Structure 1
Amino acid sequence: MLDRIRIVLVQTFHPGNIGASARAMKTMGLRDLVLVNPRSFPDAEATRLAAGASDLVEQARVTSSLDEAVKDCVQVVGASARLRAMPLPHYEEPDEMARSLVTNAATGPVALVFGRERSGLTNDEIRHCSHQVSIPADPEYGILNLSQAVQILAYETHRAWRQRQDSGFVYQQRQEDTPPTREQLEHFQAHLSRVMQQSGFLTQPHARTEQQLQALFARAEPSRKELSLLRGLLSAVEPKQS
């Protein structure tokens, strides 16, 4: 579904903003980038600021008009800081827009359109859109860099997608956060019990100390790395066999 969500940049003046926007897209799983009459492209600055998203810059399509960029889309949302005197549906909140965009992406390509750095989209370009969205900001200084605007709306879009039951999204799990197996937990508990007995910590055979400690570690949900650290600590204090 995310592959059907297109980011369209109209007449971008600074090529670095193309790269920064590509980077913002890739962090949110979006890959379809279309450039309408960019001032300078390809450009080394675009590739440099894309960092790890240079592949999106290399794959970006260039069109001569906004109509060409969005003619196959079932929904086209124009991002605009200014409300236009046009009877277009307007999303007051980006999250509302994102839910609609993701829903429509299930049926066909959709697009988020961003205008020029200084002047945004023209009235004629807005007419090629089916909806408008604005990013709420401080009225005294509501100025966002192009790539910042892309990042915000891309995040809201990704958030709306991952909250769907059919998204299948899972957060990336670092290796050190991997939960231990039942066997590893049982080895740890046996090691802990052995050390407590050998050290003289357990003096009452019927005390519930072991069960209470097992419950404590079960609530703590230690990772494999953390469990390994605890095993190392137990080995360090374990009485040495003569």
Structure 2
Amino acid sequence: MLSNIRIVLVQTFHPGNIGATARAMKTMGLTNLVLINPRQFPDEEATRLSAGATDVIDNARVVTHLEEAVADCVQVVGASARLRSLPLPHFDEPDDMAESVTQNAQSAPVALVFGRERSGLTNDEIRCCTHQVSIPANPDYGILNLSQAVQILAYEVHRAWRKRDDSDYAYQQPTESTPPSREQMTHFQAHLGRLMQQSGFITQPHARTEEQLQALFTRAQPSRKELSLLRGLLSSLESHLPER
């Protein structure tokens, strides 16, 4: 589905913004970039600022007219910092736009169109769109860099896609956060109980105390690594106790 979402940049002046846009796209799983009459492309600055997203840069398509870039799209969303008097549906919130875009991209191409760094999209270019979207910002200073605007909308699209029932996105979990097995927790609790008796903290098995400590560590949900540290601490303390 994400491959059906196209990022279109109109007459980008700074080639570095093309590279930064490619980086913003790739971090959100988007790879389809179309450039309309860029001032300078290909360019080393674009490649450098892509920060490794060179595949997006290398596969970017350059065309002459916006109509050519979006002719096969069923939805074309123009990003605009200001409201226009044109009778187009307008998304006040990027997340509403993203839900609509991801729905349409299930079966056909869609496009997000961004204008020039200084002046944005013209009214004629907005007329080529089916919808408009704005990024809510500080009304006293709502100036976003081109690649920043792409990053925000691309994130919202990726977020809407992640939330779909048919998304195959798997959240990354660090190895250190893997929870311990039940057997590992049992060994830890037995070790703790043994040390409590050896240290004199309790003089005989005390079910209530052990249950409370078990509940404490259950709520804490230590990872395997953290449990290993605790076992190491118990072993160190145990080695300093006098033999009984």
How would you bin the TM-score normalised by the shorter chain? over 0.9
* RMSD value, Cα: 1.7
Match of 2:14 in 1: 14
TM-fit CA distance, 1:206: 3.5
Asked if 1 retains the 8 angstrom alpha-carbon contact of 2:197 and 2:204, the reply is: no
Q: Secondary structure at the match of 2:8?
A: strand
Match of 1:185 in 2: 185
Q: Which amino acid aligns with 1:150?
A: V
Asked if 1 retains the 8 angstrom alpha-carbon contact of 2:70 and 2:111, the reply is: yes
Give ranges in structure 1 of 5+ residues lacking alignment: none
Match of 2:220 in 1: 220
Residues 88-135 of structure 1 deviation map (CA, whole Å, 9 limit, x = unaligned): 111111111111111111121111110110111122211221111111
Asked if 2 retains the 8 angstrom alpha-carbon contact of 1:195 and 1:239, the reply is: no
Asked if 2 retains the 8 angstrom alpha-carbon contact of 1:91 and 1:133, the reply is: yes
Q: Which amino acid aligns with 2:233?
A: L
Match of 1:132 in 2: 132
Asked if 1 retains the 8 angstrom alpha-carbon contact of 2:15 and 2:40, the reply is: yes
Q: Percent identity?
A: 76
**Alignment size in residue pairs:** 242
Q: Partners of 1:223 and 1:206 in 2: how far apart?
A: 26
Q: Secondary structure at the match of 2:78?
A: strand
Q: Partners of 1:184 and 1:54 in 2: how far apart?
A: 46
Q: Partners of 1:179 and 1:69 in 2: how far apart?
A: 49
Match of 1:61 in 2: 61
Asked if 2 retains the 8 angstrom alpha-carbon contact of 1:199 and 1:239, the reply is: no
Q: Which amino acid aligns with 1:15?
A: P
Which ranges of 4 or more aligned residues in structure 1 deviate by more than 4 Å?
A: none
Give ranges in structure 2 of 5+ residues lacking alignment: none
Q: Secondary structure at the match of 1:19?
A: helix
Q: Partners of 1:12 and 1:33 in 2: how far apart?
A: 13
Residues 154-205 of structure 1 deviation map (CA, whole Å, 9 limit, x = unaligned): 1111122222222233321112122222232222222222222322222232
